Amino acid sequence: MAIKTEGYIFAEPKFKFDVSGYVAVTALGVSVYDNRWELAAHEVGSDLKLGARFPINYIEGQDFKASLDDVKSEVPNIDPAAMIDQVIGAAV
């Protein structure tokens, strides 16, 4: 019996940009008031896919052999200028 297939693992990272406010009031070394507000936030990058593909070959009765040389990585094309334009466009 022989099995020949491909494994695949991936992640879709997102970048979150936010503007927050924070107030802390302390009197005589004791915290009296402490609060944080998120004033604006925007996420970018849901279409960015980072992953790796690797072959899985098994023949019954033989040792399973795996090599890092067989791994093919998938890296997204990140355009920082376009990401900044998306964030600014969402804020306006």
The dihedral built from the CA positions of residue 77, 81, 85 and 43, taken in this order, carries a sign that is: positive
Cβ contacts of 76 within 8 Å, gap of 6 or more: 47, 48, 49, 50
Residue spans per domain, the chain: 2-91
Question: Which residues have C-beta within 8 Å of that of residue 3, sequence separation ≥ 6?
Answer: 56, 57, 58, 59
Q: What is the mean pLDDT of the chain?
A: 84
pLDDT for position 80: 78
How many Å apart are CA 51 and CA 78, to the nearest integer? 14
Rg (CA), the chain: 24
What confidence tier does 26 reach under pLDDT thresholds 50, 70, 90?
very high
pTM of structure: 0.45
Q: What's the pLDDT band for 4 if we cut at 50, 70, 90?
A: confident
- The pLDDT tens digits for 34-66 are 999 998 888 876 677 889 999 888 888 888 777
